[in-house]
Amino acid sequence: MKDKVYIQDLGKYVGREVKLEGWLYNKRSSGKIKFLILRDGTGLLQCIVFKGNVTEEEFEIADKMGQESSFRVFGLVKEEPRAPGGYELDVKKLELISESHDYPITPKEHGIEFLIDHRHLWLRSKRQTAILRIRHRIVKAIRDFFDSRGFTLLDTPIITPTSVEGTSTLFETQYFDLGKAYLTQSGQLYAEAGAMALGKVYTFGPTFRAEKSKTRRHLTEFWMVEPEVAFFDLNDDMDLAEEFIEYVVQTVIKDKAEELKTLERDTSKLEKVKRPFPRISYDEAVEILKKNGVDFPWGDDFGGADETIISDQFDRPVMVHRYPAEVKAFYMKRDPENPKLALAVDVLAPEGYGEIIGGSQREDDYDELVKRIKEHNLPQEPFEWYLDLRRYGSVPHSGFGLGLERTVAWICGIEHVRETIPFPRMIYRNTP
Ligand code: 4AD
Ligand code: MG
């Protein structure tokens, strides 16, 4: 009897009898009527159980069922503008699937540690499902953007023989008889090989940093999308980054209005995220800090607080380019105008969300790159394959990496990256 339907599709079933399955989100009662709020993963629906319309047994079930009990209902779909979602169900039949009592997460406030300990259950909340849906939409927008612009997806390895972004944040493991291996910090070096084969590529997957930082922006396992393009210089790279960010943000505002509303996100701030983005040099960024009373020594890398001051000057993401080479990775090309500088760019998100993109033009000269590897005290042998890219038909090329979780946090307007990934990994937590 009756078709199984989902709450998100109820508009098509007004006036018809349907079957729904899900969990009890909340309930209240008023004498002979029980109001059960059903949660089915696609939305919430108020189900009205009227004593006269169901058996005594069914009414008893409605009465006793605890939060998050799973059940099946059959009933008539009605339009009800005052109900959440705009519809309600006039219940004709009710079946308990599995009882739940003393569900740990009640509608009252819980501390963050308690909630993260129960992350596997916390995911069921309205706020968390909104964030997860937005994350999914962002992932799809990222793929659509590159797929529709001639990029080929290149999956890069997670187990690697080298560091990419410095040796201080490497997760190490013993790899059979072959010695030490590391969880990748970035797919970039392999993406560069891909760009020499396919022209335009992107890699998109989990990356790992043994980060000692306990901040709202750091995870030890996070997702990064990294485009890499042959014959691109730093300016081309910045053009791509701003078009990309604009596309992702504008797509999410358009398609995920309801979820953003659930999160009480002020979307007027996101609407401003349109090209062109301001581009300032590191030197200009240092000037901004000085004007704002920060005693900032030239040559240092920006901390989170510095990034906030810089980005607060603008109403959209700001691209800071040409950093001191000393604070940047070994593979970055030096600025021919000033070899103290690297042809690097960081994109800082507005509203204090900090760096969401790090990118650069790559060193394409064999001798220079060998020199950089030595200067960074890296062993040359594991990089021989990477040096081959400079031995055989080297070309100028550039790319960047966008951190997915920081981007989700910014677009959702939430404080900490721990809520942007289903099961966060941080310095003090690897469970559940
Ligand atoms: O600036 P990063 O370290 O750049 C790279 O890894 C380059 N290889 C990318 C490239 O050019 N292909 O990291 C890129 C981005 C950062 O801007 C940030 O958004 C994110 O990755 N990120 C982190 N996100 C969460 N937790 C961490 N510990 C992160 N470290 C970097
Ligand atoms: Mg960076």
**Residue 357 Cα to ligand 2 middle (Å):** 7
State the pLDDT at residue 1. Answer: 57
Which residues make Cβ contacts (< 8 Å) with residue 297, sequence separation at least 6? none
pLDDT at residue 2 in the model: 72
Q: What is the pLDDT of residue 298?
A: 97
Q: Residue 369 in contact with residue 385, Cβ under 8 Å? A: no
**CA gyration radius, the chain:** 26
DSSP 8-state class, residue 380: S
Establish whether residue 209 lines the binding site of ligand 1, counting it when its CB lies within 6 angstroms of any ligand atom: yes
Query: d(Cα 344, Cα 329) in Å, to the nearest integer?
Result: 9
* Tokens representing residue 29 in the block: 């009662």
Q: What is the largest CA-CA distance in the chain?
A: 85
Segment (H or E) for 137: helix 126-147
Atom of ligand 1 nearest to the CA of 219: 26
Give the residue carrying structure tokens 């005693």. 295
Distance 37 CA to ligand 1 centre (A): 41
Contacts of 137-141 with CB under 8 Å at 24 or more apart are 137/251, 137/252, 137/255, 137/256, 138/248, 138/252, 138/404, 138/407, 138/408, 138/411, 139/204, 139/404, 141/247, 141/248, 141/251, 141/252
Coil, helix or strand at residue 250: helix
Secondary structure class of 219 (helix, strand, coil)? coil
Q: Is the CB of 400 under 6 A from ligand 1?
A: yes
Q: Is the CB of 342 under 6 A from ligand 1?
A: no
Alpha carbon distances (Å) from 278 to 274, 318, 320: 11, 5, 9
Instruction: Tell me if 418 CB under 6 Å of ligand 1.
Output: no
**Cβ of 164 below 6 Å from ligand 1:** yes
CA 108–ligand 2 middle distance (angstroms): 39
User: Is 87 a pocket residue for ligand 1 (Cβ < 6 Å)?
Assistant: no
409 within ligand 1 shell (Cβ under 6 A): no
Cβ of 358 below 6 Å from ligand 1: yes
CA of 202 to the centre of ligand 1 (A): 15
- Would you say the C-alpha torsion 320, 326, 329, 331 has a positive or negative sign? positive
Relative to beta strand 70-79, strand 17-30 is: antiparallel
Q: Which of 135, 154, 186, 332 has most ligand 1 atoms within 8 Å of its beta carbon, as the pocket-test mutant? A: 186
Report the alpha-carbon distance of residue 63 to residue 88 in Å, rounded: 19
pLDDT at 213: 86
Distance CA 194, CA 203 (A): 9
For residue 153, what are its two tokens?
Answer: 């997806």
Nearest to 288 by CA among 318, 254, 253, 252: 318
Contact 412, 260 (CB under 8 A): yes
Peptide bond into 317 cis (omega under 30): no
At which residue do the structure tokens 């999410």 appear?
Answer: 252
Q: Is 427 exposed, middle or buried (0-12, 13-18, 19+ CB in 10 A)?
A: middle
Predicted TM-score of the model (pTM): 0.97
pLDDT at 26: 95
Amino acid at 247: Y
104: tokens are 């740990």
Task: Give the HSE-up count for residue 313: Cα atoms under 13 Å, Cβ half-sphere.
Answer: 20
Expressed in angstroms and rounded, the spacing between residue 330 Cα and the centre of ligand 1 is: 15
* Burial 195-220, CB ≥16 within 10 A → b, else e: bbebbbbbbbbebbbebeeeebbbbb
Using the mean position of ligand 1's atoms as its centre, give its distance from the Cα of residue 236 in Å: 19
In b/e form, how buried is each residue of 362-389, taking b as 16+ CB within 10 angstroms?
Answer: bbbeeeebeebbeeeebeeeebeebeeb
| Residue 97, SS3 per DSSP | strand
| pLDDT digits (tens), the chain, 432 positions | 578 999 999 999 999 999 999 999 999 999 899 999 999 999 999 999 999 999 999 999 999 999 999 999 999 999 999 988 899 999 999 999 999 999 999 988 999 999 999 999 999 999 999 999 999 999 999 999 999 999 999 999 999 999 999 999 999 999 999 999 999 999 999 999 999 999 999 999 999 999 888 899 999 999 999 999 999 999 999 999 999 999 999 999 999 999 999 999 999 999 999 999 999 999 999 999 999 999 999 999 999 999 999 999 999 999 999 999 999 999 999 999 999 999 999 999 999 999 999 999 999 999 999 999 999 999 999 999 999 999 999 999 999 999 999 999 999 999 999 999 999 999 999 999
